[in-house]
Structure 1
Amino acid sequence: MARGLGKGLGRGLDALFQENSQDEVIEDLNVSELRPNPYQPRLEFDEAALSELSESIKMHGVLQPIVVRKTIKGYDIVVGERRFRASKLAGKHKIPAIVKELSDQQMMELAIIENLQREDLNPLEEAKSYETLMNHLKLTQAEAADRLGKSRSYIANLLRLLNLPQEIKTMINQKEISGGHGRTLLSLKNDEEMIEVAHKVIKEEMSVRALEMYIKERNEEGATSEKKETKEKQKPKFLVKHEEKLKQHLGTKVEISKSRKKGKIAIEFTSEEEFNRLINLLENVGE
């Protein structure tokens, strides 16, 4: 079933639940018996949006049932956590629900898919969802892009945000800077420099375009202030070219070095999940 779910990612949740839909029964479940999906990748729920939905539920009720899985302790929410939270705010004691028999694996996939189909995910939540889904289903960036109806470059650029320092990730989550700012900051040399410039972006309310220009000028000034390396010590152009290709393909920092007799390719990862994603990509090269 899990692989079947993976093949249908681009079709939407309705298509995923179409199987056995004739036998589905909508039940009114006690809100107190429900608990959020333990595999929910979403980090933030907009309080204003929840309040607005809560007011709508007070007037019209819950128009679309949530989907749950029965457990020993009650029910896990598979799809519809926003409706559940808004119903609690509205003081509702019961909520319409469809009870499904699903594995932990299916619950994780459906939680990710539901969130990816929403338009108000922040860039890091979306990136994390892509990473989790790719690792979980062992998909390459190209395969994930094809199944989700996205371009590979779009997914690759979002995944790069996961390499940002935690301080900058917090800035993005708090909407102090955008995902576009985050991707641009990745062109700087190290975490300390990224954080320094990120604070400047907030203080001066810089647009992404203004940040791009600032970093370009900063890099140019830094280059002219340093002594030029001799041609023998400069990195060959073909290595730079392949280094950039690997960076784009893997969505992380890559360093290629070469001596007279041997060379080395260093691929950076910041977590076990990131490591597994990179291993998956490398194992699928050429397939």
Structure 2
Amino acid sequence: MAERKKALGRGIDALFQDFNGETTHDQETVETLALSELRPNPYQPRRDFDETALQELTASIKKSGVFQPIIVRKSIQGYEIIAGERRFRASKLAGKTTIPAIIRDVSEDEMMEIAVLENLQREDLTPIEEALAYETLIKKLNLTQTEVSNRLGKSRPYIANYLRLLTLPEATKRLLQAKQLSMGQARTLLGLKNKAQIDALARRTIKESLTVRQLEKIVNALNEEKASKQVIKKPVKSTFIRATEQHLADKFNTKVTLAEQKDGKGKIEIGYLSTEDLNRILDILNVSLD
């Protein structure tokens, strides 16, 4: 297992050389399995498959069959697909009942990592799918972001930026998944301090075809507006209180502040600059510490 984990960072071919259908491990054979016996990889990060590409593959399989075997592992009931779900789906659409497959003995952890790596190397996952893939590795394998980045050959900030997308509101995540929003636009939306504004601004971004730069200006303006509203205004003191403060300041020759409370009570604060200054004020008040 340790040797295989080292190979993961170098790519899927370093772990399973026959993913491209070129070679097989010793004593492995290609078998014909019924499509009804197969189930998709439960750790498959891809949520959506490109319909055009799937239809093209379906047409090819109808005409020529499946040239590249899929890779599966035996499960309690039938088989789970390790790699080749597109070929599996296209074969069903083509009306096939069987498919060539290589049966591989793979652990749960390896199957999870393979599913992520195979799809990442295709580079057509949506940002949400990629983020969910990283989250799966972290949660299921108890890995840190740094460990995931080392294992997949990605930087830790790269992993962190994708994971942040999962904190977006559900409606905005659906827009990102549907490729109506870009990764850059989504990351900019995350900068909004008032998270309740994200969905509305995401819809506006699509409607007005806002660029990332334009969106950044809007986010900054909204954040400044929120900050100005949060500034606590000091209560305006009455004329009597201000006059009293000035009278006491003149008497003690120092700053005096009166703080009013809602119940009519309050407090007086008399400032002093040193011990000698304090003693001077105490003399004025005729207060003795003897």
Q: Structures share a fold, TM > 0.5? A: yes
What is the aligned counterpart of 2:60 among 38, 51, 56?
Answer: 56
Give the equivalent residue in structure 1 for 2:266: none
Give the equivalent residue in structure 2 for 1:109: 113
Shift of 1:14: 2.3
Give the equivalent residue in structure 2 for 1:160: 164
5 Å-filtered alignment, 1:14-93, equals 14-18=13-17, 21-93=25-97
Give the equivalent residue in structure 1 for 2:140: 136
Give the equivalent residue in structure 1 for 2:257: none
Give the equivalent residue in structure 2 for 1:201: 205
Shift of 1:224: 4.9
TM-score by length of 1: 0.72
- The one-letter code sitting in structure 2 at the alignment partner of 1:17 is F
Q: Does the Cα contact within 8 Å between 1:122 and 1:173 map onto a contact in 2?
A: yes
Shift of 1:56: 2.2
| Residues 210/84 of structure 1: CA separation in 2 closer, same or farther (3 Å cut) | same
| Residues 21/196 of structure 1: CA separation in 2 closer, same or farther (3 Å cut) | same
What is the aligned counterpart of 1:213 among 210, 217, 227?
Answer: 217
What is the rounded CA distance, in whole Å, between the counterparts of 2:124 and 2:17 in structure 1?
25
Q: Deviations over 1:163-194 (max 9, x none)?
A: 11111111111222122211111111233111
Structure 1 residue runs without a partner (length 5+): 231-287
What is the rounded CA distance, in whole Å, between the counterparts of 1:13 and 1:38 in structure 2?
18
Shift of 1:71: 2.8
TM-score by length of 2: 0.71
What is the aligned counterpart of 1:120 among 108, 120, 124?
Answer: 124
SS of the equivalent of 2:122 reads coil
Equivalent residue pairs, number = 229
What is the rounded CA distance, in whole Å, between the counterparts of 1:133 and 1:113 in structure 2?
11
Shift of 1:93: 2.1
Percent identity over the alignment is 56
Q: Does the Cα contact within 8 Å between 2:109 and 2:141 map onto a contact in 1?
A: no
Give the equivalent residue in structure 1 for 2:12: 13
Q: Does the Cα contact within 8 Å between 2:149 and 2:156 map onto a contact in 1?
A: yes
Q: After alignment, is 215-224 or 69-78 more displaced?
A: 215-224
Q: Deviations over 1:187-225 (max 9, x none)?
A: 112331111211211221112222112212333344456
Q: Does the Cα contact within 8 Å between 1:6 and 1:137 map onto a contact in 2?
A: no
What is the rounded CA distance, in whole Å, between the counterparts of 1:150 and 1:161 in structure 2?
17
Q: Does the Cα contact within 8 Å between 2:6 and 2:151 map onto a contact in 1?
A: yes
Shift of 1:112: 2.1
- The one-letter code sitting in structure 2 at the alignment partner of 1:45 is F
| Residues 72/143 of structure 1: CA separation in 2 closer, same or farther (3 Å cut) | closer
Matched, 1:99 2:98: no
Shift of 1:115: 1.9
Give the equivalent residue in structure 2 for 1:146: 150
What is the rounded CA distance, in whole Å, between the counterparts of 2:147 and 2:36 in structure 1?
40
Give the equivalent residue in structure 2 for 1:191: 195
Q: Does the Cα contact within 8 Å between 1:116 and 1:129 map onto a contact in 2?
A: no
Q: After alignment, is 86-95 or 133-142 more displaced?
A: 133-142
Shift of 1:132: 1.4
What is the rounded CA distance, in whole Å, between the counterparts of 2:77 and 2:95 in structure 1?
22
- The one-letter code sitting in structure 2 at the alignment partner of 1:135 is K
What is the rounded CA distance, in whole Å, between the counterparts of 1:64 and 1:132 in structure 2?
28
CA RMSD, aligned part only? 2.3
